[in-house]
Amino acid sequence: MTDYTTELCETLRTSEPAVWRPSGEAEFFSEMPPIVGYVVVWNVPSFDKGGYRMRYGQNTFLADTFKQTAVDILHDHCRNRVLGRVHLVDSDFHGLWVEGSAAGNESSRFMWRAISSGALSCWSIGYKHPKCKLDGVVDITRGRLGEVSLTHSPANPNTVARLRPRWANVDRLRDLLIIANASLADMSDDDWLTFQASKSILRQCELSGAPIPKSPEALQRRAELCLAAA
């Protein structure tokens, strides 16, 4: 855990900020930056959906995480408005994290600009789950993603969509967040939970621009506080 957090904190502190600039009078991006964010936040009931609210458990989309399910990024669940494709799915202490790339069409360019300006900043998901009674707060513990959508009216509060991660070295950051199977086998349950919480903290720093913990020990303390409060 210490080696991981030391290397990760150092990488984040020394990476150059990613700067994406619009080009031309149309103010479209010359390069389409990746989109990242939480499409689901765990254990938070959705807004009312007509007499019931959905609540997702932390392992709900575990199969998609293991299989790295590549799904379309749509606008408001419309199959005729494909904006891009998800290329990374990961689950951490806070929620279901995705990274995706733009389709490169005119619609995706307008939507990417809307995300950049903050006009479009939320996610919604399309998924399948076992049949259940839709009444009150419905706990979903197993599901499979069908698509993710950018939307103004998300069912799940606190979802966040952002362009251009704060650090340019995104591939390096992603590599550091993935542990080899051998390392996973050596982790205790407490170490694994702390690792998941630390990923969540760093990603939320990335999304919000909040200060990064100054040391591995500070990050671990924050992760342990998150776990204690859960």
Please tell me whether residues 38 and 55 are part of one structural domain. Answer: yes
Same domain, 10 and 38: no
pLDDT more than 90, % of the chain: 17
Of 76-85, 183-192, 208-217, the range with the lowest mean pLDDT is: 183-192
- Whether residue 99 sits in one domain with residue 62: yes
Statement to judge: residues 140 and 51 lie in one domain: yes
Q: Is 123 exposed, middle or buried (0-12, 13-18, 19+ CB in 10 A)?
A: buried
11 and 67 share a domain? no
Q: Are residues 106 and 44 in the same domain?
A: yes
Of 144, 163, 182, the one marking the end of a domain is: 163
Structural domain of residue 88, as residue ranges? Answer: 22-163
pLDDT tens readout for residues 113-125: 888 877 888 999 9
| Segment 145-156, tens digit of pLDDT | 999 999 988 888
Domain boundary among 163, 197, 220: 163
> Same structural domain for residues 36 and 127?
yes
Residue 174: the pLDDT is: 47
DSSP letter string, 13-76: HHSPBP---EETTTTEESS---EEEEEEETT-PPSPSSSEEEEE-TTTTHHHHHHT---EEEET
Output the domain CATH number for residue 126.
3.20.16.10
Instruction: State the total domains in the chain.
Output: 2
Task: Please tell me whether residues 130 and 192 are part of one structural domain.
Answer: no
Q: Running DSSP on this structure, what letter comes out for residue 118? A: T
| Cβ 60 vs Cβ 141: under 8 Å | yes
For the question of whether the overall pTM of this predicted structure is more than 0.75, the answer is no
Question: Are 6 and 72 in the same domain?
Answer: no
